[in-house]
Amino acid sequence: MVVITGMSGSGRSAALKAFEDIGFYCVDNLPLPLLPAFMDFARSSDEASWSAIGIDIREKGFAEEFPARYGALKAAGEGVEMLFLEASDQALVRRYSETRRPHTLAKGATPLLDAIGQERKALTEVRTLADRILDTTDYTVHYLRQAIERDYACG
């Protein structure tokens, strides 16, 4: 199982689509409390034996709770890997400007760059646990798809 997380705007949704295209069973925004149950399901299911799940900072308590939950799965010998996606602040600002979507942490009058900085700081510990870190600053969606296929095709 691959857990995909990282900075908002760095390509998590596009990465999940790429995993789905190479035959992975994909779930986006899985609530953290359901992670162990999903692991059980994936182990017992032919359909979900190759799985990718997307979890991010929108999940309440993610930055605080995820490191311990992920560490417990790794310590138990579960076949789980974390792919952490990130991009430069400038790339994230550009992507948010292009999509005109609000950043998850940009509440009220919080400037976009401040929200990005808050998220980057909050995810520091999560990032240190990642098995793979992919900087998507200069990636197009097509190049991200190729990177996923290169690194994960055929399980």
pLDDT tens sequence across 111-140? 878 889 999 999 999 999 999 999 999 999
Phi, psi of 39 (to 5 degrees): -60, -45
> The domain spanning residue 29 has which CATH number?
3.40.50.300
CA 81 to CA 83: how far, in whole Å? Answer: 7
pLDDT tens sequence across 74-106? 887 778 999 999 999 999 988 887 766 766 766
* Residue whose C-alpha is closest to residue 38's, from 62, 91, 2, 65: 2
Q: DSSP letters of 18-86?
A: HHHHTT-EEEES--GGGHHHHHHHHHH-STTSSEEEE--TTSTTHHHHHHHHHHHHHHTT---EEEEEE
Over residues 9-18, the mean pLDDT reads: 95
* Residue whose C-alpha is closest to residue 122's, from 40, 45, 59: 59
Which domain range does residue 59 map to? 2-152
pLDDT tens sequence across 19-48? 999 999 999 998 988 988 888 888 888 877
DSSP letter (8 states) at residue 10:
S
The predicted pLDDT at position 15 comes to: 97
Q: Is this structure's pTM higher than 0.85?
A: yes
How many folded domains does the chain comprise?
1
Query: Residue 155: pLDDT above 60?
Result: no
- Per DSSP, the three-state class of 3 is strand
Lowest mean pLDDT among 15-19, 43-47, 142-146: 43-47
**First vs last Cα of the chain: how many Å apart?**
9
Over residues 138-150, the mean pLDDT reads: 95
DSSP letter (8 states) at residue 134:
E
